[in-house]
A = this chain, B = another copy of it.
Amino acid sequence: MKEQFQEPAYYRVAKDLKKDIEKGNLKPGDAIPSEAQLSRQYNVSRMTVRQGLSQLANIGYIKTVQGKGNFVARPSVEKLVLNLSEENLFNASDKISIKLLGVEVIKAGTQESRKLALDVSTKIIKVARLLSTREGPVAIDTRCLPYLKGKPILEKEIGYAAFPEVINHYSEILSIRNELSISPTLLSEAEANQLKAEKHLPALCLEQVLFAYNGTPLGWSKMICRGDRYTLQADSYPHSREL
């Protein structure tokens, strides 16, 4: 007979309170028993109680107010999390295949230079890709990043990894912020051709700009997704209501 796993004391405190909150015994705004009280009730030290409470705070179940107490938090369901990792972009069950449409080093036009805060005519690398599932082409992807002299361009890396990965590998600077804009458009003639769709099909335009710690833009990416084959999904945050 295997020994039972012994759950930590702080975990029991957190779990019990979590259940009370989910059952509605404790409603948003309600005060939680004081730390001293819980400490006596569970016969554990105050630090242990605090560890349990900090777990609940981390998953957004309670808010702590100095000098007053711990209170049940109102779930904030208006913030949503969107996962743009390449595996997650499309249905996980559907493998994506990627086709490189082109890799080139060119002078930045006004569009790219503005996005990347570069002078016009600075050299940049531009990568175009076609993403498909079994159903067929789904999205066209264009990526721009400043060209670094003497740095080899590995098409494999630059074409077949998620955009933030590309930035990290190529520029060797950690990207720390990602700004995304989502807007609707119609497929242009060129886009429609590449996506094997009719012109003027509704499409999603996802534009990303990645920044370094110091605020420097490191890269810019634009993805055009066929509206009939792709829907963006987001889920309320915090995702994990687990301890």
Q: Are B232 and A80 in contact (CB-based, < 8 A)?
A: no
Copies of this chain, count? 2
- For A237, list chain B residues within 8 Å (CB): 81, 237
Residue pair A178, B80 in contact (C-beta under 8 Å)? yes
A sample of 13 cross-chain residue pairs with beta-carbon separation below 8 angstroms, ordered by A number, consists of A54-B54, A75-B174, A77-B177, A79-B82, A80-B81, A80-B84, A82-B234, A177-B235, A177-B236, A180-B233, A180-B235, A182-B234, A185-B227
Q: How many residues of A contact B (CB 8 A)?
A: 48
Q: Which residue of B lies closest to A47 (CB)?
A: B47
Specify the main secondary structure of chain A where it touches its partner.
Answer: strand
Q: Which of these, B58, B75, B182, contacts A204 with CB under 8 Å?
A: B182
State whether the Cβ of A197 lies closer than 8 Å to any Cβ in chain B.
no
A176 with B84: CB separation less than 8 A: no
With both chains docked as a complex, state the minimum distance between the C-beta of A109 and any C-beta of chain B, in angstroms. 21
For the complex of A and B, list the 8 residue pairs with the smallest distance between their C-beta atoms, beginning with the closest.
A178-B236, A184-B184, A182-B232, A184-B202, A184-B227, A180-B234, A77-B178, A78-B85
**A interface residue numbers (CB < 8 A to B):** 22, 24, 28, 47, 54, 58, 74-75, 77-85, 162, 164, 168, 174-186, 202-204, 210, 213, 227, 230-237, 241
